[in-house]
Amino acid sequence: LSIYIVFYILYNHVWEDVTLHNSSLPPLAIKNPECLGLLHQLDRSTDTWVQHYCILKDGCLYFYAGIRSTQASGGLYLQGYRVNEQILSFKQSVIELKPPSEEFKTFYFCAENKTENQRWITALKASIKKWLPLHQAIQDFMNRPLEETRM
């Protein structure tokens, strides 16, 4: 079991290093983004929409004030989040990012139009799906036949 703990520490350390590195880059310097463009985020405290230039990469959504920003102004780790399309009270189609537990915040975004919303929804789902939760990866590994697990 100790090999799993080492793997977990190394995996998280590398992923955090890459994410920290990416957040220090201008948006167009991030290599091979899964999706990019303008998104409006609902600020629930003021009930207003705030525009961000966004980059989706490896299960993280980076927020920038604009395309010429020198670094990200924020980010959202998406592991465990569910992506849904919702209709808000004013009949606008929005992207809902629902957290894995109630202790985290639900986020609402919308793109410029329904086609762009669908493009983001598809990309967000694919990006999240690529990253199995560690406990699921370990369980999958442990359930494999013994001869497949030998090193």
Residue 41 lies in a domain: yes
Instruction: Assess whether pLDDT exceeds 60 at residue 4.
Output: no
User: Alpha-carbon dihedral of residues 103, 9, 61, 19, nearest 10 degrees?
Assistant: 140
Instruction: Assess whether pLDDT exceeds 60 at residue 148.
Output: no
Report which of 51, 48, 66, 54 is spatially closest to residue 22, judged by C-alpha positions: 54
Mean pLDDT confidence for 9-17: 47
Mean model confidence pLDDT for the chain: 82
Per-residue pLDDT of 76-125, as tens digits, reads 989 889 999 998 766 678 999 999 888 999 999 999 998 999 999 999 99
Residue 36 lies in a domain: yes
- Residue 59: which domain range? 14-143
Residue 87 lies in a domain: yes
Residue 118 lies in a domain: yes
Residue found by looking up tokens 């808000």 in the block:
88
Residue 151 lies in a domain: no
Highest mean pLDDT among 2-11, 112-121, 123-132: 112-121
pTM: 0.77
Residue 4 lies in a domain: no
DSSP letter at 82 equals: E
Mean pLDDT confidence for 30-54: 94
Separation CA 42–CA 128 (nearest Å)? 21
Report the domain count for the chain: 1
CATH of the domain at 34: 2.30.29.30
Residue 6 lies in a domain: no
Of 146 and 72, the one with more pLDDT? 72
Residue 8 lies in a domain: no
